[in-house]
Chain A
Amino acid sequence: MSTSTIAPQTLTAKDFVTDQEVRWCPGCGDYSILAQVQKVMPTLNIPKENIVIISGIGCSSRFPYYMNTYGMHSIHGRATAVASGLKASRPELSVWIVSGDGDSLSIGGNHTIHLLRRNFDVNMLVFNNQIYGLTKGQYSPTSEEKKVTKSTPYGSIDHPFNPLALAMGADATFIARSMDRDVKHLQQILIRANQHKGSSFVEIYQNCNIFNDGAFEVFTEKSSKADEALFLEQGKPLVFGATQNKGIKLDGFKPIVVEIGDKYSIDDLWIHDEADFYKAQILVRMFDNPQNADHLPRPFGVFYQTERACYEDVMAMQIEEVITTKGKGDLDKLLRGREVWEIA
Chain B
Amino acid sequence: MNTNEQVLQEVVIKFAGDSGDGMQLTGQQFTNNTALLGIDLATFPDFPAEIRAPIGTMAGVSGFQLHFSSNKVYTPGDSCDVLVAMNAAALKANLKGLKKGGKIIVNTDGFDSKNLRLANYPDGVNPIENGSLEGYEVTKIDVTKLTREALKDIAELGTKERDRAKNMFVLGYIYWMYNRDLKSTKDFLQEKFGKKEVILQSNIKVLQAGYNYGDTTETFTTRYTVEKAKLPAGKYRSIMGNQAVTMGLIAASEKSGLPIFLGSYPITPASDILHDLSKHKAFGVKTFQAEDEIAAITSAIGASYGGSLGVTTTSGPGMTLKAEAMGLAVMLEIPLLIINIQRGGPSTGLPTKTEQSDLMQAYYGRNGECPMPIVSASTPSDCFEAVYEACRISVQHMTPVIFLSDGYIANGAEPWKFPQSADLKPIDVKFKKGLDEGEEKYLPYKRDEKLARPWAVPGTPGLEHRIGGLEKQDITGNISYDTDNHQHMVKTRQAKVDKIADYIPLQTIDSGAATGKVLVIGWGSTYGSIKSAVLDLQAEGKSVSHVHLRHIRPFPRNLGDIIKNFDKVIIPEINNGQLVKIIRDHYFVDAIPYNKIMGIPITKTELVDFIGKMC
Interface residues of A (CB under 8 A from B): 1-6, 18, 20, 47-52, 54, 57, 64-65, 67-75, 78, 81-90, 92-93, 110-111, 114, 315, 318-319, 322-323, 326-329, 331-332, 334-337, 339-344
Closest-CB distance, B529 to chain A (whole angstroms): 25
Q: A84-B295, A85-B298, A331-B250 are in contact. Are A342 and B288 (CB under 8 A)?
A: no
Residue-wise interface mask of B (594-611) relative to A, using a CB-CB cutoff of 8 A (1 in contact, 0 not) = 000000000000000000
Further 8 A-B residue pairs, CB within 8 A, beyond A49-B460, A85-B301, A318-B281:
A1-B435, A1-B436, A74-B468, A88-B299, A110-B292, A110-B295, A339-B238, A343-B231
Contacts of B236 in A (CB 8 A): 340-343
A331's contact among B254, B263, B328, by CB below 8 Å, is which?
Answer: B254
Query: Would A74 and B286 count as touching, CB distance under 8 A?
Result: no
Query: Would A20 and B478 count as touching, CB distance under 8 A?
Result: yes
Segment from B31-39, B94-102, B447-455, B532-540 that makes contact with A: B31-39
Within 8 A of A (CB), among B280-301: 280-286, 288, 290-292, 294-295, 298-301
Contacts of A90 in B (CB 8 A): 303, 306-307, 457-459
Closest-CB distance, B560 to chain A (whole angstroms): 36
Q: A331-B251, A339-B32, A341-B37 are in contact. Are A82 and B280 (CB under 8 A)?
A: no
Contacts of A344 in B (CB 8 A): 233
Q: How far is the CA of A51 from the CA of B465 in the complex (A)?
A: 11
Contacts of A78 in B (CB 8 A): 294-295, 298, 325
| Nearest A residue to B460, CB-CB | A49
Contacts of B465 in A (CB 8 A): 70-71
Residue-wise interface mask of B (12-36) relative to A, using a CB-CB cutoff of 8 A (1 in contact, 0 not) = 0000000000000000000010011
Q: How far is the CA of A3 from the CA of B461 in the complex (A)?
A: 6
Q: How many of B's residues come within 8 Å of A, CB to CB?
A: 78
Q: How far is the CA of A208 from the CA of B300 in the complex (A)?
A: 33
Q: How far is the CA of A40 from the CA of B277 in the complex (A)?
A: 41
Closest-CB distance, A65 to chain B (whole angstroms): 5
Query: Would B301 and A82 count as touching, CB distance under 8 A?
Result: yes
B487, CB-defined interface residue at 8 Å: no
| Nearest A residue to B228, CB-CB | A343
Closest-CB distance, B467 to chain A (whole angstroms): 6
Contacts of A85 in B (CB 8 A): 261, 263, 288, 298-304, 306, 310
B261's contact among A50, A89, A331, A342, by CB below 8 Å, is which?
Answer: A89
Contacts of B250 in A (CB 8 A): 329, 331, 334
Contacts of B37 in A (CB 8 A): 341
Q: How far is the CA of A68 from the CA of B468 in the complex (A)?
A: 15
Contacts of B308 in A (CB 8 A): 89
Q: A340-B237, A343-B234 are in contact. Are A92 and B459 (CB under 8 A)?
A: yes
A–B complex contacts, Cβ < 8 Å, 10 sampled: A4-B461, A4-B462, A47-B461, A70-B458, A75-B327, A81-B295, A82-B299, A85-B261, A315-B286, A328-B282
Q: How far is the CA of A54 from the CA of B295 in the complex (A)?
A: 14
Segment from B51-59, B355-363, B414-422, B583-591 that makes contact with A: B414-422
Closest-CB distance, B12 to chain A (whole angstroms): 21
Within 8 A of A (CB), among B456-477: 457-470
B549, CB-defined interface residue at 8 Å: no
| Nearest A residue to B232, CB-CB | A343
Closest-CB distance, A77 to chain B (whole angstroms): 8
